Chain A
Amino acid sequence: MFKILRITGMSLSPAYLHGDYVLIQKIGQLNRLRKGDVVVFQLPGYGRLIKQISTIDLEMADCRVKGTAPDSIGSEIFGAVPLTAILGKVILHIPKK
């Protein structure tokens, strides 16, 4: 499954900026998660977020994520993200500039 999404906000700057598009692919056997992947996930109370994977815990079936901008937030604020909450990982980045 593929999906195009538009990024809002700047917490993944400088690489990903507000207004950029990303093509995501659902995680599966042929598309595994790795540290450093940029993923889109759904978190209750926060909505649909896009962050970078910092660690993966297969035993707990979750991962920790982070933003790349200096004042961004990540798992240190909202905790680990269940792998089941991940909608997909970015396979193509279409920057505005």
Chain B
Amino acid sequence: MLHSIISKIDRKLHFETASAHCDIPCGIYDPHLAQLSALTVIRMLDLMADLEKGHTVVDTAFRNSMIRYVAVKEEHAEQCKKEIRVIFGDYIKKDHIEKFPELPELTHKIFQAASKCRQAAARENGLELLALVNRFAEIFWATKGIETKKAVAPYKPSEEVVYPVL
């Protein structure tokens, strides 16, 4: 009875929560895997385009390579979504969103951009995904009071990545 009354009041006043989770909140969160996944998607798109240009015959060797590039592109687009989902779901708190109100929409845009990378083969889709994930990384490190810098990754596809300054 008392719980029922408190529950009704909670629906109006939105009481704060205290977590008694059993998950091991190891506290280890890092957007770098999401960034690597986005870079891998771009790399696969580049390899697919190169293969298309370099092959005059669509033979078994061509199909084998193309299918493998597509498979890795699919895997890493989904990996990117998963990494962002875990950070947004498990690490990001209400006060982070209050400080960075763009976070929920940015997260949604990342999911959509990753799906677009799976659906099509345009390089600009991969670049858009990386740009969004880089912005997410900037915010993530800002929540920890850590500055970031941009540097070109020292491997192909040689695109700019946000790194923490540690």
Contacts and interface: CB of A to CB of B under 8 A. Distances in A.
A16 to B, nearest CB: 6
Interface in A26-54: 40, 45-51
A6 B22 contact: no
B56 interface: no
A19 to B, nearest CB: 8
Contacts of A50: 18-20
B20 A51 contact: yes
Interface residues of A, number: 35
Interface in B1-28: 2-3, 6-7, 10, 15-27
A6 B10 contact: yes
Interface residues of B, number: 19
A7 B15 CA distance: 10
A10 interface: yes
Contacts, number: 80
Given A21-B6, A72-B22, A94-B3, A6 B27 contact: no
A73 interface: yes
B108 interface: no
Interface of A: 3-13, 16, 18, 20-22, 40, 45-51, 67, 69, 71-73, 77-78, 94-97
15 contacts: A4-B6, A5-B18, A6-B18, A8-B17, A8-B21, A9-B19, A13-B20, A16-B20, A21-B6, A21-B10, A47-B19, A72-B22, A77-B26, A94-B3, A97-B3
Interface of B: 2-3, 6-7, 10, 15-27, 93
